Amino acid sequence: MSRVMVAMSGGVDSSVAAALMKEEGHEVVGVTLRLWGGESDSGCCAISDVDDARRVCDALNIEHHVFNMSDEFDHHVVDPYVSSHATGLTPNPCIECNRHIKFDLLHHRVQALGFDRLATGHHARIASQPDGTYRLARAIDSSKDQTYVLYMLDQSKLATLDLPIGDLTKDQVRDLATQLDLRTATKPDSQDVCFITREHGRDDFLRKRIPLTPGRVINTEGIEVGSVEAVEMVTIGQRKGMATAGGTNPRYAINVDVPNATVTVGTPEDLLVESTSVKDCVWANQLTNGPVLVQISAHGKPMKATLKDNTVYWEEPQRRVAPGQAVVFYDNDEVLGGGMAC
């Protein structure tokens, strides 16, 4: 049996993951990361979540420890989130948290402390390949699948990672937690970005950290048709929040120019593109070219495309992907890799 560190957020998924690893006979230690020191109402990163994780570990009779990575979280997740908005990008902080915190810094901590493996409560699976390598694979419960936000996992991470709830539906996870009388059995899933409260929102969070610039809205002919309160808050494809004059047809943001405080709007047809460029690609095993399925949002529908030299050529025209968003490549249900739209 292995010595396993289980990353425990204080939610039901990681609680059941810890229980399953212990049931398999492993030496299990639960670890909760203290990441965001500010206000949180997302069901993640709050003091109450640390307490829930500790109490679950007590119920399972396993050790529980807290690692303070708040400085690293600010550096790798919060600061880049703010600076990305300042330059007109649309960041995904959950992906950056996985990339830098959970599967880099924590992964190194696993090795440094003499653990054999890391386990998490993510809804995903690990698929062994005929050549002895591994790929991340979609969870059984497609409505909860988290492979999109885990696309950065390479062989060095996948080889020592366990995802014990990937073969269970969410209902089955909650049923198991209920059978084990775990306090998290009925706890709601975490929602939204942990460091942005639902009460105050993204606008308030960013205004405290960067100047937000009022901007003008122009159409595809360059004619000014309205205004926007903060150009840094606009993302490609957005319709809401832009005061446009004249016309009854819906208009969507098709370009965001922060330096010139200008948002260009157009029709749904103006949003369509035949290709999307991607940068900073990482691969589960090796670089891929050829036919792939592509997902461009956490729960979006995979779309057929051909990948060649970091450019996605869509089988059918698709809506523009906001720069900064993840573009993830699949072979059926298995993740090949991914990168950032540019």
Whole-number Å distance between alpha carbons of 46 and 42 = 8
Instruction: Specify which residues 128 forms β-bridges with.
Output: 134
Nearest CA among 13, 22, 102 for reference residue 52: 13
Q: How many CB atoms lie within 10 A of CB 68?
A: 11
Whole-number Å distance between alpha carbons of 125 and 80 = 29
Phi-psi region of 230 (alpha: psi -120 to 50; beta: other; left: phi over 0): beta
Token digits of residue 315: 């089988």
Q: 44, 45, 94, 194: which is the annotated catalytic residue?
A: 194
- Letter for the amino acid at 114? G
194 is catalytic: yes
Q: 45, 57, 94, 97: which is the annotated catalytic residue?
A: 97
What values do phi and psi take at 98, rounded to 5? -65, -45
Beta strands (DSSP E) in the chain are 3-7, 27-34, 63-68, 117-119, 124-128, 134-138, 161-162, 215-218, 224-228, 242-244, 252-257, 262-266, 272-283, 290-295, 303-308, 311-319, 326-331, 334-341
45 is catalytic: no
Nearest CA among 234, 251, 4 for reference residue 110: 4
Residue 138 CA to chain centroid, in angstroms? 14
Do 33 and 67 meet the contact criterion of CB atoms below 8 Å apart? yes
The continuous run of DSSP H or E covering 157 comes out as helix 155-158
| Active site amino acids | 97, 194
